[in-house]
Structure 1
Amino acid sequence: MANRLANKVAVITGGTTGIGLGAAKAFAAEGAVVYITGRRKAELDAAVAAIGPNAHGVLADSTRPDDLDKLYAQIKERHGRLDVLYANAGGGDMLPLGELTEKHVDDIFARNVKAVIFTVQKALPLLDKAATGASVILAGSTTSVLGTAAFSIYSASKAAVRNLARSWILDLKGRAIRINTLSPGPIQTPGLVELVGNDAAQQQGLLDYLASQVPLGRVGQPAEIGSAAVFLASDESSYVNGVELFVDGGMAQV
């Protein structure tokens, strides 16, 4: 099926690499007008070129409310509505309990929780104007339900995101805005492999280890998350609300 997102206006935060870029390519291929955000112009311009003519780049940091205001002002001026919002921007670093710092905790929760809250809140007036109802997708993770050594703060932030979706669908009861969480397992992205540094052998070792933990026997690719995001963004999921969709090869299901 093609053009499942025809005539839809979509925003994907953190859309310059990895999962965000994979989702943006999938949205554009299905007919959406896609706005991606990024903090570095060179990467943003390269991503827009890779996505194609339906893509627009906006320099924005999701942790900065003023940047979010500028993003949505552009959407309002050009389209007057927003049909799909994928709050994908975020990330984290690995530190064990004994080495945690206040800066580490504040940084991860600012990027993965606080930024998500205001990314969605500030979009509500535009989401309310979506013709066939709006879809909000929050970036979750299998780490929210699995223990992961040296990854406790990132994991806790993703558990918080999952509960935001549960609570917000009650706040928005009666409004045609659906909110779901998309939780990937290990996906081969720069952000994943760089957790162990820049050494190629160590990066491959991480991928091999993670593949051994997945029932399908491999790590996933950004395009596979993009396909799941297209479903949640499309009218095919019009009665899907508040769920957590795991795209993890079965990793968190056993």
Structure 2
Amino acid sequence: MTSLSTDLSTDPGPPPSMVERMTLIMDAFAGRSARLTLEDVARRTRLPRSTAHRILDQLVRLDWLDHTSSGYGLGRRALGLGGGGGGHGEIREAAAPLLHELQLNTGLVAHLAVLDGADVHYLDKAGGRSARSVPTRVGGRSPAHATALGRAILAWLAPERAHALVGDPGSLHQELHRIRQRRGLAFERGDCFPGVTSVAAAIRGPRGPLAAISLAGDSRAPLERVAPLVADAARQAARALAPAPEAPHRGRAPELRLLTTGRDRAR
């Protein structure tokens, strides 16, 4: 993990390009539901307050951010990147409160991701003050086979599909088997990001895995202790996404049965 302290004697100062400054501000929002004040943005980006305010106003006007009484957050355009189709908006909406509950209860960094080819695509991240300790970002990608998120999803795919996506190394095949034996819990210790460990579980639908939720932290993170919380959050998200049961059909046949019963009683 990189230290946030900076030697002022070598500090290059704010980036000169407007595009770079806007990118710096967008990167300050660690997750879909993150809310930041103007002071938060200025502190995280190290931009002058007046500069940050001017750029924030422009991003709000262009729908990259929104602004409410609780602060600034990602807007319609930012949330739409990489999320068109596939029900990603619905998945994010179902999982967002669960991610924040996980983060608040554990102090670890919570993620939501979907499988996209051989990668996982991060849809959301809730990290609080710990967000910078895990080098992931909303909209970013990581190799599925190297992450707990990806392995949790791959474990519930048909073997031939998993093979087509990431190949069939013996060690991965054995790990996916172990994940299924652990009722879907996948662990990863420094395979994707050095010093970062995580535990994940898939959000499963009737036709297979839809996404996965994880908690991540440094090597001291109590993964075994928080694993049941991750599994429970994945189950809650799956229930929230399950289609509502159809109402019983009330056609002519039930009506006739009721009428017949009435005649029988009259006799």
Query: TM-score surpassing 0.5?
Result: no
TM-score (norm. length: structure 1):
0.26
Which has the larger Rg? 2
TM-score (norm. length: structure 2):
0.25
**Structure with the greater relative contact order (CA < 8 A, sep ≥ 6): 1 or 2?**
1
Between Structure 1 and Structure 2, which shows a larger proportion of strand residues?
Answer: 2
